[in-house]
Amino acid sequence: MRTAAAPRPRRLYSVKELLGRSAPGLTQVTDQAAREGFWSDWLCRHLPTEIGAQIRGVLERDGTLVIFAASAAWCARLRYALQELDPQIRAAAPQLTAIAVRVQPRA
């Protein structure tokens, strides 16, 4: 026999919701990792293979897309290649205000 005071069924939460509530920093990390994956794939599809192979990392922060190259020489080649892709990059992410290329050699 049920009474009016019977407990209501609890709402089920996804793991993402639970982690987002308890650790907002973790949500930022997963979002950043997703953006890095998106840009890595995008750049590999749109850049020549020899230049794409020299990208060491991609970071999107505060409206700036930062791309890390293996050396200063590859950094220069990447800058020229990105100038040609600038309209396509802006179309893919209108929130970007700048694109920067930095050197990050392998350890």
- pLDDT given for residue 12 in this prediction: 79
Per-residue pLDDT tens over the stretch 11-38: 777 877 766 666 666 667 778 888 899 9
The closest of 85, 91, 82, 94 to 54, measured between CA atoms, is 82
pTM summary value: 0.72
The domain 15-103 is placed in CATH, from the list 3.10.590, 2.40.128, 3.90.660, 3.30.300, at: 3.30.300
Q: CB–CB of 24/74 below 8 Å?
A: no
